[in-house]
Amino acid sequence: MANSTILDISKIKPAAGYLLVEPVEAQKKTAAGIYLPESHDEKPQEGKVLAVGPDELTDAGGKRTAPAAKGAMVIYKKWGGNEVKVQDKEYQFLKFDDVLAVIS
């Protein structure tokens, strides 16, 4: 079935407790100038926050706010998040807990 509506990443709003992140591309070359083979590709762990969901309600009844704002660069768990593909580009939905650090 053909989909007549093309999904626009700027119109996606994450659910409570989630961030939408655009992963940075993995380095193809080491600091010493050695090019890495295609088979070496690893999942990125760094990306730019494109959208932030509302505060998450905890089991204790409190609120957990987002660890980063839109536009921030973050480092996240290697196997964290859920991938989504929009117009041949991959993005990640990360839980607030999947964010390990904000890069300043």
Global model pTM greater than 0.85: no
- pLDDT at 87 (0 to 100): 86
Please identify which residue in the block is written with the tokens 């591309």: 25
CATH architecture under which domain 16-25+38-103 falls:
Roll (2.30)
Question: Is pLDDT above 90 for 10?
Answer: no
67 closest CA partner among 34, 88, 94, 36: 94
Q: Are 76 and 68 in contact (CB under 8 A)?
A: no
Question: Is pLDDT above 60 for 13?
Answer: yes
Higher-confidence position of 80 and 15: 15
Question: pLDDT tens digits, residue range 23-79?
Answer: 987 656 666 777 666 555 566 789 999 999 999 998 898 999 999 999 999 999 988
